Amino acid sequence: MTSRERVLAVLEHREPDRIPLNMSLTVDIYHRLREHLGLPPEPEKKMGTWTDVSASRDLLDAMQLDVHYTSLQKPANWHPPKTDNGLLYDEWGVGREKVVREDGSYYYEMVKFPLANATLKDIERYPWPDPEDDGRIACYREQVLQIRRETDRAIMFKPANSIWEQSWWVYGMENWLMDMAMKPGIVCAIMDKITDIAVRLMEIGMDEVGDLIDIVRLSGEDLGTQLAPMISPKMFEEMVRPRFERLWNAARRKIKEKNPQAKLMVHSCGNVRPFIPSWIDMGLDVLDPIQPLAQGMEPEGLKRDFGEQLVFHGGIDLQHLLPFGTREEVMAEVRRYIRALGPGGGYIVAPAHNVQSDAPPANLVAIRDAVEAYGNYPVQ
């Protein structure tokens, strides 16, 4: 099978020739993996806010990855403000500070929250991002057409911002969690504004390339800690679900209009098991990232309880296994996930988040080799 045929089969809960493989990398491990694989350096590689990069095709080929990731472009009519505090600002007004680790790698920590202590008037007057900015789709369809012409990979497309996460990014997490109870009017007003933008971006993005993509990836909506959900199911149903449904319904309308075989994915870390029935009811097809050390996210139980309704993406631990495990341990864990989630289709092997700088490149190659060794159907 081609990579795209393989992924499409899994998305339809059919068994392909082998388990599909996907992987998202941050900038430091990306460059070290290229060196490990003997690929030429890419010193000018662009990265996202989370220091993530979009893998070039030679690395996709070398790692036998089955998915090509793409997202809308940056706005043309907005530029980062010039500041004297060294912070990096995004179009939402969130300020990030560069934090350098001991190994020389780095990430950006959110430290400036523009709507902290906001009033309803502040929310209404705030200069929100413009979803209609023409830079977001300038020449973008041709780029996605080129991916479709030149590769046989499935295309995963992220067209819109998150709702839950983007809300506390502009507000500050501690105050956000308190004010879910203390100031629900403020919280809901912020989520409404952010949902408006997300819905419009979804419509614009899907109108532009919806006929060319295979998975519509909703932006990260981390609702779980390692032990439990961040909020109660009741609070989710009353305050968050109505905003999610607006965006998810818009996505499903555009999928039906542009490419009915495409599927809807959400990324949500931690123990999110209590929310899964609601998400299925809302039309979710693919759950990512299956954080393996979070309570309630054991693959055997997820497959047993939700395997007929959901496809699973992720699961390979990067908190302990990938940074500290041996090649043999990595391969054994990949085999475990293939056996637990793979039968009948419905599983794409992937690390449980963007791979960080502490992972040895050899352990990422071990994931590839385990899929090659153990991922053929029928699963043994």
- Could you give phi then psi for residue 221, rounded to 5 degrees? -130, 65
Average pLDDT, the chain: 97
- Supply the pLDDT for residue 84: 78
As a whole number of angstroms, the distance between CA 330 and CA 349 comes to 12
- Supply the pLDDT for residue 103: 87
Q: Are 254 and 213 in contact (CB under 8 A)?
A: no
- pLDDT, tens digit, 9 for 90 and up, residues 111-153: 999 999 999 999 999 999 999 999 999 999 999 999 999 999 9
Half-sphere exposure of residue 350: CA atoms within 13 angstroms, side-chain side: 26
Cis peptide leading into 80, omega within 30 of 0? Answer: no
- Supply the pLDDT for residue 333: 98
- pLDDT, tens digit, 9 for 90 and up, residues 183-201: 999 999 999 999 999 999 9
CA–centroid distance for 327 within its chain: 26
**Whether residue 298 has pLDDT greater than 90:** yes
Q: Are 20 and 342 in contact (CB under 8 A)?
A: no
**Whether residue 305 has pLDDT greater than 90:** yes
Model confidence band, residue 83 (pLDDT cutoffs 50, 70, 90): confident
- pLDDT, tens digit, 9 for 90 and up, residues 152-169: 999 999 999 999 999 999
CATH code, 3-78+115-374: 3.20.20.210
Q: What is the DSSP letter of 26?
A: E
What is the pTM (predicted TM-score) of this model?
0.97
Q: Are 115 and 191 in contact (CB under 8 A)?
A: no
For the chain, what are the domain ranges? 3-78+115-374
The enclosing H or E element of 217 equals strand 215-218
- pLDDT, tens digit, 9 for 90 and up, residues 328-370: 999 999 999 999 999 999 999 999 999 999 999 999 999 999 9
- Look up residue 235 and give its two tokens: 């609070």
